[in-house]
């Protein structure tokens, strides 16, 4: 009896031990990996620097394949390897690091269930193809893209043409240096680089550099012929693009190149661009990724600014935004033209949302903006659905809705809304 009992206890213990071992093994296998690598980060004064950081949630010991992001080159399905050439691995590491930071922000700060349950995303760097809703990638020869970034919606694929379904993806274009002299747009090459940079902001997200330059040529010609609207649009964009200007520091970490004579944008190495694109993904349950509008770009910029969490950047936004910046070249009252796609990247809406956050206070303001997405759509007009959405959201989220709405309305009225 005693022996049988001892045996049973022994047997139970052994079973438990085996189970525990199995459990532990599985746990070890499922545990995500970490890796220390150099990436581009920001200093306290928001300057770029190369810093060693820890990449988390990796599921591969050799490549940039994680639980939430897989970084690939161009059209490839294979994750970029840690030992790939620096120009690839450094960009992959920087994108991976800041995407992880942006994802954590949405889950921890604004408690986004949508982001927490988003399927793993494929991130393409050095990818030049245009986006095709049916074919995923447009033909290689069709206007290759440089110096920008793009978030694309998921697609069903096209079985008959061998196009597999794909999930939501972020694409970072390769950088291409353009000498300012070669822009040949009515003396533009001699202008302050900052002016050009501000104007260039319009092409981020949905436009190519080529289209941007073509538009500049048209705009500059129109300016000369006295077309008031176009001239005004150009003046206004000088104050815009605050996020971009803050992100662009005339520094290329790989070649260590500083230059005012050349234009390029290495989008996978600019934290604020990475945050902006991820914000599009995080808002995409309500703001569909079809085209650029003032609303969708303003919302993405707002969260890019929050994730960057830089006092220096916040100061700049406060000072220079065209909505109410004290030192903006030209403060701009609301104009009907802001609703048009061409003006989607001007910072009027960004400045407006930033100001509302300041009225409500940091913590309440952030939650407010994320809730706001439920009350608006990509096509929301500023004066119509966006303002209505802001007021309805305040009814639900603000601590003192009556007082807060009055304060918000007062700020809006000052800008002609
Ligand atoms: Zn965008």
Q: Is there a domain that residue 93 lies in?
A: yes
Number of domains in the chain: 2
Model confidence band, residue 414 (pLDDT cutoffs 50, 70, 90): confident
Residues 212 and 254 placed together within one structural domain of the fold: yes
* Ligand 1: centre distance to CA 82 (Å): 29
Domain end, chosen from 127, 157, 172, is at 172
Q: Is there a domain that residue 26 lies in?
A: no
Residues 231 and 266 placed together within one structural domain of the fold: yes
Find which of 7-21, 286-300, 302-316, 390-404 is predicted with most confidence, using mean pLDDT: 390-404
Three-state SS across 300-357?
Answer: HHHHHHHHHCCHHHHHHHHHHCCCCCCCCCCCCCCCHHHHCHHHCCCCHHHHHHHHHH
Q: How many distinct helices (H) and strands (E) make up the chain?
A: 14, 12
Please say if the pLDDT value at position 310 is more than 60: yes
Question: What's the CATH number where 45 sits?
Answer: 3.10.170
Residues 308 and 232 placed together within one structural domain of the fold: yes
Q: What is the reported pLDDT for 149?
A: 86
* Ligand 1: centre distance to CA 28 (Å): 39
Q: What's the rounded mean pLDDT across residues 313-339?
A: 71
Residues 58 and 112 placed together within one structural domain of the fold: yes
Q: What is the reported pLDDT for 228?
A: 29
Range of the domain at 250: 178-414
Q: What's the rounded mean pLDDT across residues 400-405?
A: 96
Is pLDDT larger for residue 212 or for residue 298? Answer: 298
Residues 182 and 311 placed together within one structural domain of the fold: yes
Q: At what angle are helices 294-308 and 86-108 packed, to 10 degrees?
A: 100
* Ligand 1: centre distance to CA 280 (Å): 7
Model confidence band, residue 147 (pLDDT cutoffs 50, 70, 90): confident
* Ligand 1: centre distance to CA 215 (Å): 18
- For 82-134, write each residue's pLDDT tens digit: 999 999 999 999 999 999 999 999 999 999 999 999 999 999 999 999 888 89
Q: What is the reported pLDDT for 6?
A: 56
* Ligand 1: centre distance to CA 213 (Å): 18
Q: What is the reported pLDDT for 351?
A: 85
Tell me the CA distances in angstroms from 21 to 6, 12, 26, 27, one per residue in order: 22, 14, 9, 10
Q: Are strands 33-42 and 131-132 parallel, antiparallel or unpaired?
A: unpaired
Q: Are strands 136-137 and 149-152 parallel, antiparallel or unpaired?
A: unpaired
* Ligand 1: centre distance to CA 173 (Å): 14
* Ligand 1: centre distance to CA 345 (Å): 8
**H/E element, 124:** strand 121-125
Q: What is the reported pLDDT for 178?
A: 67
- Cα gap 69→237, rounded to integer Å: 34
Q: Is there a domain that residue 212 lies in?
A: yes
Residues 48 and 148 placed together within one structural domain of the fold: yes
Residues above pLDDT 90, as percent of the chain: 44
- For 343-384, write each residue's pLDDT tens digit: 665 677 888 999 999 999 999 999 999 999 999 998 999 989
Tell me the pLDDT of the chain averaged across its residues.
78
Model confidence band, residue 223 (pLDDT cutoffs 50, 70, 90): very low
Is pLDDT larger for residue 3 or for residue 264? Answer: 264
Q: Is there a domain that residue 252 lies in?
A: yes
Q: Which residues neighbour ligand 1 (ion) by CB within 5 Å?
A: 205, 297, 300
Domain end, chosen from 150, 172, 194, is at 172
* Ligand 1: centre distance to CA 305 (Å): 13
Residues 383 and 243 placed together within one structural domain of the fold: yes
Q: Is there a domain that residue 9 lies in?
A: no
Taking the model in full, what pTM does it have?
A: 0.81
- For 162-216, write each residue's pLDDT tens digit: 999 999 999 998 887 766 666 544 454 455 555 555 555 444 433 333 344 444 4
> Taking every pair of C-alpha atoms in the chain, what is the biggest distance, in angstroms?
107
Q: Is there a domain that residue 296 lies in?
A: yes
Q: Is there a domain that residue 257 lies in?
A: yes
* Ligand 1: centre distance to CA 373 (Å): 15
Q: What is the reported pLDDT for 218?
A: 36
Q: Are strands 149-152 and 169-172 parallel, antiparallel or unpaired?
A: antiparallel
- Please state whether 320 falls in left (phi above 0), alpha (psi between -120 and 50) or beta: alpha
Please say if the pLDDT value at position 27 is more than 60: no
Domain end, chosen from 121, 143, 172, is at 172
- Cα gap 352→387, rounded to integer Å: 10
Q: What's the rounded mean pLDDT across residues 23-41?
A: 75
Please say if the pLDDT value at position 217 is more than 80: no
Q: What is the reported pLDDT for 141?
A: 85
Model confidence band, residue 159 (pLDDT cutoffs 50, 70, 90): very high
* Ligand 1: centre distance to CA 296 (Å): 7
* Ligand 1: centre distance to CA 402 (Å): 33
Q: Are 305 and 293 in contact (CB under 8 A)?
A: no
Please say if the pLDDT value at position 308 is more than 70: yes
* Ligand 1: centre distance to CA 170 (Å): 11
Q: At what angle are helices 294-308 and 271-282 packed, to 10 degrees?
A: 120
Q: Quick check: helix, strand or coil at residue 26?
A: helix
Residues 285 and 395 placed together within one structural domain of the fold: yes
Lookup result for tokens 């061409």: 342
């Amino acid at each position: 009896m005693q022996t049988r009992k001892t045996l049973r206890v022994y047997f139970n213990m052994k079973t438990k031990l085996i189970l525990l071992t199995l459990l532990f093994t599985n746990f070890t296998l499922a545990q995500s990996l970490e890796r220390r690598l150099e990436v581009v980060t920001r200093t306290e004064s928001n300057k770029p620097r190369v810093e060693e950081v820890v990449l988390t949630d990796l599921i591969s010991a050799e490549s940039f394949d994680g639980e939430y992001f897989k970084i690939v080159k161009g059209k490839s399905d294979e994750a970029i390897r840690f030992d790939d050439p620096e120009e690839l691995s450094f960009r992959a590491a920087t994108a991976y690091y800041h995407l992880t930071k942006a994802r954590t922000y949405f889950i921890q700060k604004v408690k986004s269930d949508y982001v927490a349950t988003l399927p793993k995303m494929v991130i393409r760097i050095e990818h030049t193809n245009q986006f095709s809703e049916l074919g995923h990638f447009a033909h290689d020869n069709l206007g290759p893209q440089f110096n920008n970034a793009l978030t694309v919606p998921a697609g069903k694929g096209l079985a008959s043409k061998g196009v597999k379904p794909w999930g939501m993806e972020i694409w970072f274009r390769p950088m291409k240096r353009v000498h300012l002299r070669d822009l040949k747009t009515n003396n533009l090459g001699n202008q302050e680089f900052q002016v050009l940079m501000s104007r260039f902001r319009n092409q981020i997200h949905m436009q190519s550099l080529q289209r941007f330059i073509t538009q500049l040529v048209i705009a500059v010609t129109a300016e000369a012929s006295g077309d008031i609207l176009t001239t005004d649009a150009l003046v206004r964009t000088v104050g815009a693009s605050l996020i971009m200007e803050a992100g662009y520091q005339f520094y290329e970490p790989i070649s260590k190149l500083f230059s005012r004579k050349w234009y390029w944008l290495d989008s996978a190495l600019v934290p604020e661009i990475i945050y902006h694109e991820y914000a599009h993904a995080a808002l995409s349950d309500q703001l569909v990724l079809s085209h650029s509008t003032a609303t969708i770009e303003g919302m993405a910029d707002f969260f890019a600014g929050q994730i960057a969490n830089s006092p220096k950047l916040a100061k700049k936004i406060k000072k220079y935004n065209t909505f109410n910046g004290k030192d903006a070249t030209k403060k701009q009252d609301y104009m009907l033209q802001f609703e048009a796609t061409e003006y989607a990247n001007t910072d009027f809406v960004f400045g407006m949302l930033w100001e509302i956050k300041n009225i409500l206070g940091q913590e309440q303001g952030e939650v407010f903006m994320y809730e706001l997405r439920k009350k608006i759509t990509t096509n929301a007009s500023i004066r119509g659905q966006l303002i209505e959405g802001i007021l309805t959201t305040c009814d639900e989220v603000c601590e003192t809705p009556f007082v807060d709405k009055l304060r918000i309305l007062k700020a809006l009225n000052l800008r002609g809304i």
